[in-house]
Structure 1
């Protein structure tokens, strides 16, 4: 049984923040109907490049579209036509949730605000995603992932000291915003199941990215100091750092209890002499003399390859309890046995691309109601007739009338 089987969701989202959230719900079995402009489709269908590299797949399909909209249905409609708006409200009347990530003024102009949808479905779970939230003077400002990273302080937290603001190319603001959007939808559905009441819920790039950095923001607010950017040459703790090995690959340590593990660490790397060095006798001493210790450790790790070090450390007495791991590239994950053992990647035959593909799996393991991330994103308007028939009971004559009028 699928966890969300029987749940119907009208998905008026675009690009990534919204679609990634509703895609998570589709993977859990919800029937997610992605609403697309009948002329242009979702913007992500036309994305040809991703961080400067070609991102189009066979048959003109876009990687971003494929990743963010798998397992959904596609319905095309012209919402600027009165009959198009009415059609969408009819769908909303049959739905459990209505989700969008349009700017507040845009959704209001379409006549699809919470009050509009609630009027036809008082129990609707209405979830809105935006850049900055629905209140305040900047509620209608446009926003994409890059601005979510910029406005939230994230870009001045990553990267080495003194570097200009630094972005990640992983779409992190869109991803965490999408996860929060999924979370909000599930929360709304849970409350409705318990109380029978629908409600309005919203998430934003700004709010989601701030929550992602909640400890850092609390430090600034409570301690009056921002957490500093760190460099591997001047890490606050030499045992909470990463080092380059002989093959140019990196090894990372996350030893929070450094006094406890210092003897294990020194013996594992064959430097028992460091135990007798008064500069490094305890965590305070190691912090005070961190640059000297980091320089010494860097020389040590450059004497062997990364895999040799991992084998040496983990086979040493107590080494299997030492928090140490490899620094990987994204491409390394494709051949990581631990990833495949947990289905964090899945491989399947793609019906439209005509070949087997590898895609991210679902990040949550459910023993009784497993998610199913193996599925294609829909063709443009692929399910328009199907949804109108099954949700609204439309016959072919009515569907053809709407098509002739340019509504669908």
Structure 2
């Protein structure tokens, strides 16, 4: 794998692309930032009254933090004051609060219209915030104390993912090229963020009820999934298999737990969670977090340091990989997360400059008459398993690519099942997984045992006729099989390959054993969530997987566009933990500007007051509410019948309300406590107040707005039955992309694809079955640990 060296700046993959951003909100700004960081020329039109982002204070007690997040979002963009003076553009981005006037310029390729809820549906006119989108996506209800309230994940997370979805739509449009009329993509922030909730939705369908909220850092069925104080910091752990569990107990010198027959199964440990966590809390202070993490790597136990802001800035792997970019704002320089699309030949910009005035326009892209699915004709070989890799390739399939999934009978996708017994295999339980069904729709399946030379040779034969390779195996696995990028790209310059692992390949922590929870822990994000008296607080059991998967799709689309322009492929060395780092940007900026770690505020917000989840009538029903400005405050007071609040001038300022935040929250809770959550949300939204009921995980698929917008595909598959599956979070020219097929059966396309692509004869295929190179059902040889 080669990287750019020397003093000359690296080539950027989107050089020559021109983007015009109509400012308004974090999602639109983040979408445009991604284009700028990958080399596009981005011009930003600010509102006539000034950009509200410029006055945002990350810490209410620290004036020095004013404008820092605005500077991060808009670094490298060119500022124009009048849309009519802006140069012609390939892409037009409309932020979620931007004015949508009739005289906006027409782009050459596409408009990316980003909004909270889309232009149609019951919530189309609603006011949104990160909390509101998180609540409606089903992400808030399962997190936090069992008694409530549900826990807010943190600000700028739904909006960043909404912006990332917009970026994916934009690059897909660039790949498709110019058509007779510019395309219009409508991106919903709520729909984009539901990608992070798909696992909980699938689990709820299996259970026939919502996932319960069980306490801070407790998520069924995984136990322990927790964060513990060490001698000098925090360690996150997620032992899933019995081998990992026994190794952890041996490391902690708790042999009685490791040998306890009642604690060997993944689901059997949860009833003992409090006892186990208490036992761990007596052991972890004996060593530093760094020492424990090193032992975890040695014994293949999923354990990782949970760094605070200073720990992220000092992190040995982040620094070795260049995970942090340099942001210059005036006389000050800050280190902020690098855009986590780690294209080796055409990396994102690592030196970020402050916004600058516009200069001469760039050369326009050539016209390409193509109005089909943007990735039609692209073939992807998918070695991915679980969530992150399959989500990335599912997005490519949704955009029209042909995706061929490689599995083996002795090592199928681990999301097919957790029971590989002979009886379970005979019942075809491995075809019943709703999670697998959702993440692998529209793909084909070839079964190949890659531990056999014949299997590897056939995999290489498929790769010879492919454009893209994707894998999220543990770091080094593909190289040891002779299927690394250096092997597969030999003799061809156009191959694109994405590798995704916890810390990326080629560094001292690459061997870290990781699941989606470990990715969140390792990013440090839990250190900035929850209440001060809680341990660092996690969002859910595998947050890092979907976030890493979406960034993986973005990296692939970017590399494919560059391939179309130059004929050159490249390796993408993505770190799934790095993909979580953009969420930590506010905390990193606060630390560098003030010298202090970011305050953990629970459900409260540094700018919006009041802000939180409030109890409603019925059992465990909650209302998410956020007051975004003084007008919303007055509307809230009016709906609640609080004339005294309306007459109190001190409450018309954020500072005045913050001084009485306890009192205000208690009064709101008393009012909401007798209201049905849906009724209260509708009343408040009609009055202009951002509010929503906090969806349980089993309520998302039946949400009337999402149903009206046809966001979920209703499918029926053998062994699964009926299922709702999340689609792409966008409309293209007012229409959803069509679903391109159900998830494949294990090895179901093996004969057709190996004979037509790899050149196998019918007789040779039968011999492959006889030799176990190809299997149409799992064996019970799968290894754990």
**TM-score normalised by length of structure 2:** 0.47
Q: Distance in 2 between matches of 1:324 and 1:368?
A: 27
Deviation (angstroms), 1:233: 7.9
> Can you give the 5+ residue segments of structure 2 that lack an aligned partner in the other structure?
1-371, 421-426, 775-785
Task: List aligned pairs for 1:178-189, cutoff 5 A.
Answer: 178-189=549-560
How many Å separate the matches in 1 of 2:593 and 2:505?
Answer: 27
CA distance in 2, matches of 1:118, 1:301: 61
- Judge conservation of contact 1:92–1:121 (CA < 8 Å) in 2: no
Rate the CA distance shift 1:250–1:38 in 2: closer, same or farther, 3 A.
Answer: closer
Tell me, in whole angstroms, the C-alpha distance in 2 between the residues paired with 1:281 and 1:138. Answer: 51
Q: Which has the higher helix share?
A: 1
2:763 paired residue among 383, 390, 397: 397
Residue 706 of structure 2: which of 339, 345, 348 is its match? 339
1:39 aligns with 2:406: no
Q: Does 1:250 align with 2:618?
A: no
Task: Please give the alpha-carbon distance, in whole angstroms, between the structure 2 residues aligned to 1:344 and 1:216.
Answer: 34
Structure 1 range deviating more: 394-403 or 377-386: 394-403
Q: Secondary structure at the match of 1:35?
A: strand
Which residue is 2:657 aligned to? Answer: 286
Cα 1:183–1:303 change in 2 (3 A) is same
Deviation at 1:34, TM superposition (A): 0.8
Say which of 719, 738, 744 aligns to 1:378. Answer: 744
In the aligned structure 2, how far is the partner of 1:227 from the partner of 1:260? 29
Stretch moving more, 326-335 or 221-230: 221-230
Aligned-residue CA RMSD (Å): 2.7
What is the CA–CA distance in structure 2 between the aligned matches of 1:58 and 1:82, rounded to whole Å? 29
Contact kept, 8 Å, 1:233 with 1:291, in 2: the verdict is no
Deviation at 1:201, TM superposition (A): 0.8
CA 1:199/1:235 → structure 2, altered by over 3 Å: closer, same or farther?
closer
Aligned to 1:219: 590
- Give SS of 1:46's match: coil
Hey, what does 1:158 align to over in structure 2? 529
Residues 335 and 265 (structure 1 numbering): CA distance in 2 closer, same or farther, change over 3 Å?
same
Structure 1 residues 120 and 379, CA, compared in 2 at 3 Å: closer, same or farther?
farther
| Residue in 2 that maps onto 1:364 | 730
Aligned-residue offset at 1:120: 4.3
Q: Is 2:94 aligned against 1:94?
A: no
CA offset digits 1:325-345 (Å, max 9, x no partner): 222212222321101122222
How far off is 1:88 after superposition? 1.3
Q: Quote the residue 1:353 is aligned against.
A: 719
Residue-by-residue CA offset, 1:112-153 (whole Å, 9 max, x unaligned): 111111104321001111011113210122211111111111
State how far apart, in whole Å, the 2-side matches of 1:354 and 1:45 are: 11
Q: Deviations over 1:347-384 (max 9, x none)?
A: 1232x137432222222222388533464221111111
Q: Cα offset for 1:173?
A: 0.5
Of 100-109 and 279-288, more deviation after overlay is shown by 279-288
Deviation at residue 279 of structure 1 after TM alignment: 5.1
What does residue 80 of structure 1 align with? 451
How much has 1:281 moved relative to structure 2?
4.3
Aligned residues: 396
Q: Are 2:476 and 1:110 aligned?
A: no
Looking at structure 1, the residues matched to 732 and 437 of structure 2 have their Cα atoms a distance apart, in angstroms, of 24
| Shift in Å, 1:67 | 2.0
Shift in CA distance, 89/58, structure 1 to aligned 2, threshold 3 Å:
closer
Superposed, 1:110-259 pairs within 5 Å as 110-169=481-540, 171-232=542-603, 237-248=608-619, 249-257=621-629, 259=630
